[in-house]
Structure 1
């Protein structure tokens, strides 16, 4: 603990809120994977993901409210804001993906959707590990390893999207092509947003280590 932290107690509630938010993101990703692997009923699962998204919004709002009334914070206010926004973006794109699957009336969830959902879930698990790691910067290795793995998973999602789009142009039904392309791109963007969180965590780690 530094001199400033010893002299002036810092509000650690931000770490609790970030961990709650990361936990909700993991839950939403898990439900998305259950949805596309047909382990749950699509409509009810979509509604559960939407509820998680609402809960995430409330936590994000609480983080900003707390930031506005806290003088001494454990992280730079801009870092807190960036991390809150990045986590919220991941949850938004998971929700958007589930919404597109439901609204477009997709009945047969193909292997590409299942692979994307798996990559998203694995990324959010790593993301959760990284978020827990910011409570202490004595050992940055866990944060670094989480970032490396999220980057690897995001690269896999890029390749998956590229191959999926290539296959779509072989379809004869243009409406199906449009729907699937939109879904695939939304799923891939969720992995991009996970990488954004990893980048924010990396910046925090570098600045405080």
Structure 2
């Protein structure tokens, strides 16, 4: 065992919790995509997403509890806090997007919603892979490709938001415009939050490589 491994505790509880949280984020994104593609009843899908959001909150709380009672952590406490918060933010925006669709009475999910949901799912899959890499300093160099792909997907989401709003304002129903614009922007923000996670992972990579 090298001196770095001797000095840094080998307690993997934080890595286990982060991987559990990242898995819930992926499942939540899959449920959202299933919902907007009409693969299951929207109310059932929303309930699943809400339950997953609660599970994510519990894991995030557990991470903070462990952080408060652990003297020496395998990552910097600020890194742990930022990563937990950033992953939880994605869950919040997935849940918020689904909730807006329900509350606004959306009966037909358009191609823009479906494309946003796909971009979110693809992004969080990359993040789950990235979270698994932080267990070992030998794997941190591979985080770069994860960040590049998430950034690419986020740029696609930016373009999609512009197109969706441009198309939206070609309509004449102001109430529909307000509702759908709110939903589109919430979905796009979820991809922004994915990029926030890659920024945290990049900082971890730089600090610990």
Q: Which TM-score bucket, shorter chain as reference?
A: over 0.9
Aligned to 1:169: 169
**Is the 2:8–2:74 contact (alpha carbons within 8 Å) kept by the matching residues of 1?**
no
- Deviation of 1:4 after TM superposition, in Å, equals 4.4
Aligned to 2:191: 191
Aligned to 1:143: 143
Structure 1 distance, partners of 2:183, 2:2, is 48
Aligned to 1:30: 30
Structure 1 distance, partners of 2:54, 2:8, is 34
Structure 1 distance, partners of 2:7, 2:150, is 37
**Is the 1:12–1:73 contact (alpha carbons within 8 Å) kept by the matching residues of 2?**
no
Matched, 1:153 2:161: no
Query: Structure 1, unaligned stretches of length 5 or more?
Result: none
Normalising by structure 1, we get a TM-score of 0.97
Runs of 4 or more off by more than 2 Å in structure 1?
A: 7-11, 139-142
Decide whether aligned partners of structure 1 residues 168 and 6 sit closer, same or farther in structure 2, where only a CA change above 3 A counts.
same
Aligned to 2:202: 202
Decide whether aligned partners of structure 1 residues 120 and 8 sit closer, same or farther in structure 2, where only a CA change above 3 A counts.
closer
Aligned to 1:70: 70
**Is the 1:10–1:72 contact (alpha carbons within 8 Å) kept by the matching residues of 2?**
no
Structure 2 distance, partners of 1:17, 1:96, is 23
Aligned to 1:100: 100
Please give the secondary structure, in 2, of the residue aligned with 1:38: coil
Please give the secondary structure, in 2, of the residue aligned with 1:28: helix
**Is the 1:31–1:45 contact (alpha carbons within 8 Å) kept by the matching residues of 2?**
yes
- Deviation of 1:11 after TM superposition, in Å, equals 2.3
Normalising by structure 2, we get a TM-score of 0.97
Structure 2 distance, partners of 1:92, 1:8, is 33
**Is the 1:18–1:131 contact (alpha carbons within 8 Å) kept by the matching residues of 2?**
yes
- Deviation of 1:6 after TM superposition, in Å, equals 1.4
**Is the 2:8–2:73 contact (alpha carbons within 8 Å) kept by the matching residues of 1?**
no
Decide whether aligned partners of structure 1 residues 7 and 78 sit closer, same or farther in structure 2, where only a CA change above 3 A counts.
closer
Structure 1 distance, partners of 2:139, 2:34, is 35
Aligned to 2:128: 128
Please give the secondary structure, in 1, of the residue aligned with 2:40: coil
Query: Structure 2, unaligned stretches of length 5 or more?
Result: none
Aligned to 2:18: 18
- Deviation of 1:2 after TM superposition, in Å, equals 4.3
Structure 1 distance, partners of 2:118, 2:63, is 29
Structure 2 distance, partners of 1:55, 1:206, is 30
